[in-house]
Amino acid sequence: MARKMKSLEQSPKNMQGLSGQKSISYFDLCMFPHVHLPVGFNMPKFEKYNGHRDPVAHLKRYCNQLRGAGRKKELLMAYFRESLTGIASEWYIDQEITHWHVWDDMARDFVRQFQYNVDIAPDRNTLFNLKKKTTESFHEYAVKRHEQTARVKPPIDEVEMVTIFLQAQEADYFQNMMAVVGKQFAEAIKIGEMIENGLKTGRILSRAAFKATSQAA
């Protein structure tokens, strides 16, 4: 009886997915079933790509992390998914890999898929117009701006980054942040957080509060 059950478990019919959907056999689930890690190979901890940055930059990081496997292009292809997350990982899983004969085929498709991130990269005008939302803290806003700034081409240096950051602030922050001119961006964030706390506690009077007080008088 046990032998009969084992035979059923391994039969092709029973390797079909639930409700007769896709096969769940190892060779159908694994995109590169014949590729094996070399003896003694240690898988690096990849920086994950989520589909929202420059795809070429990610390929460079990935190849550098697996440069020891550079002569085995099939290894690069097989473990590329380990460096992906979110929509990028979903894209990879959905691919029909039979047309990926070499690394360049896969890399080219990957870049084409996520090239829009470069095409819609923010510029200096975008940064000027990126305002703080009422639902986000100053720290969240500043980090988001820094991430957007890092995508601007050509790159913005620290001085210009802080200057644009200051000019994009609403009046309550702008008038209290003049001291950040010439300072590092991290220091500008700290000063902004202090102003945010001051506005919340009433130690710094906002323009709206000042106007209301003046009208009441």
Mean of the per-residue pLDDT values of the chain = 81
CA distance 157 to 149: 10
Task: Kindly report, residue by residue over 64-97, the tens digit of the pLDDT.
Answer: 887 765 567 778 888 898 999 999 999 998 988 8
Task: Kindly report, residue by residue over 109-141, the tens digit of the pLDDT.
Answer: 999 999 988 888 788 888 888 889 889 999 999
Residues 92-122, buried b or exposed e (16+ Cβ, 10 A)? Answer: beeeeeeebeebeebbebbeebbeebeeeeb
What per-residue confidence (pLDDT) applies to 148?
86
Alpha-carbon 211 to chain mean position? 42
Q: Which of 40-49, 187-196, 204-213 has the lowest mean pLDDT?
A: 204-213
| DSSP code, position 24 | -
Q: Which of 123, 120, 144 is nearest to 132 (CA)?
A: 144
- Of these ranges, 67-71, 141-145, 203-207, the one predicted with the greatest mean pLDDT is 141-145
What per-residue confidence (pLDDT) applies to 17?
46
Task: Kindly report, residue by residue over 22-40, the tens digit of the pLDDT.
Answer: 565 655 656 666 776 666 6
Position 12 pLDDT exceeds 60: no
> Which pLDDT band holds residue 55 (cuts at 50, 70, 90)?
very high
